[in-house]
Structure 1
Amino acid sequence: MSLNRRQLLLRASAGLVATGVVLPVLPAFAQSVDVETLMQPGALPDKVQGDENAPVTVVEYASMTCGHCASFHKGGYPHLKSEYIETGKVRFVFREYPLDPVAAAAFMLARCAPEEKYFDVVDLMFEQQRSWAFTENPYDSLLKFARQIGFTQESFETCLKDQALLDGIYASRDRAKAEFGVRATPTFFFNGEMESGALTVDQLDAAIASQL
Structure 2
Amino acid sequence: MIRPISRRTALTGLAAVSAATLLSACSDSSEEAKATAKPAEPAAASGQAATPAATVQPPPSQGTADMAKLLEAGPLPEMVLGKAEAPVTIVEYASMTCPHCARFHETTLPELTKKYIDTGKVRLLYREFAFDPLAEAGFMLARCSKDNYFPMVDVLFKQQQTWAASQNPKDALLQIARLAGFTQESFEACLTDQKLLDDIRAVRARGEKDFAVDSTPTFFINGKLYKGAMSIEEMSAIIDGML
CA 42–154 in structure 1, closer or farther in 2 if over 3 Å, else same:
same
The equivalent residue for 2:12 is 8
| C-alpha displacement of 1:99 | 1.1
Report if the CA contact (8 A) 2:140-2:197 is conserved.
yes
CA 205–137 in structure 1, closer or farther in 2 if over 3 Å, else same:
same
| C-alpha displacement of 1:6 | 3.4
| C-alpha displacement of 1:96 | 0.3
CA deviation string 1:106-138 (max 9, x = no partner): 00000001x221111111111111111111111
CA deviation string 1:144-185 (max 9, x = no partner): 111111100000000011111011101000100111011100
Structure whose CA Rg is larger: 2
- Unaligned ranges ≥5, structure 1: none
CA 142–17 in structure 1, closer or farther in 2 if over 3 Å, else same:
farther
Are residue 110 (structure 1) and residue 114 (structure 2) matched? no
**C-alpha separation in 1, matches of 2:205 and 2:213:** 9
Amino acid at match of 1:41: A
**C-alpha separation in 1, matches of 2:185 and 2:99:** 29
Q: Which runs of 4+ in 1 moved over 3 A?
A: 5-8, 15-22, 26-29
The equivalent residue for 1:91 is 123
**C-alpha separation in 2, matches of 1:184 and 1:166:** 20
Are residue 22 (structure 1) and residue 26 (structure 2) matched? yes
Report if the CA contact (8 A) 2:136-2:200 is conserved.
yes
Are residue 169 (structure 1) and residue 174 (structure 2) matched? no
Are residue 209 (structure 1) and residue 240 (structure 2) matched? yes
| Same amino acid, percent of matched pairs | 46
**C-alpha separation in 1, matches of 2:183 and 2:21:** 25
Are residue 39 (structure 1) and residue 71 (structure 2) matched? yes
**C-alpha separation in 2, matches of 1:6 and 1:156:** 11
**C-alpha separation in 1, matches of 2:143 and 2:67:** 25
The equivalent residue for 2:47 is none
The equivalent residue for 1:69 is 101
**C-alpha separation in 2, matches of 1:109 and 1:57:** 26
Report if the CA contact (8 A) 1:61-1:185 is conserved.
yes
Q: Could you say what the CA RMSD is over the residues aligned between the two structures, in angstroms? A: 1.5
**C-alpha separation in 1, matches of 2:23 and 2:151:** 26
Amino acid at match of 2:78: D
Instruction: Give the structure-2-normalised TM-score.
Output: 0.82
**C-alpha separation in 2, matches of 1:172 and 1:201:** 26
**C-alpha separation in 1, matches of 2:25 and 2:236:** 29
The count of aligned residue pairs is 210
CA deviation string 1:2-60 (max 9, x = no partner): 32x43332111134446544322166752110101000000000000111010000110
Written as runs of structure 1 = structure 2, the 5 A alignment for 1:89-168 is 89-113=121-145, 115-168=146-199
- Unaligned ranges ≥5, structure 2: 1-5, 28-38, 44-59
Amino acid at match of 2:142: A
Report if the CA contact (8 A) 2:163-2:169 is conserved.
yes
| C-alpha displacement of 1:140 | 1.4
**C-alpha separation in 1, matches of 2:223 and 2:90:** 8
The structure 2 residue matched to 1:56, chosen from 81, 84, 88, is 88
Secondary structure of the 2:92 match is strand
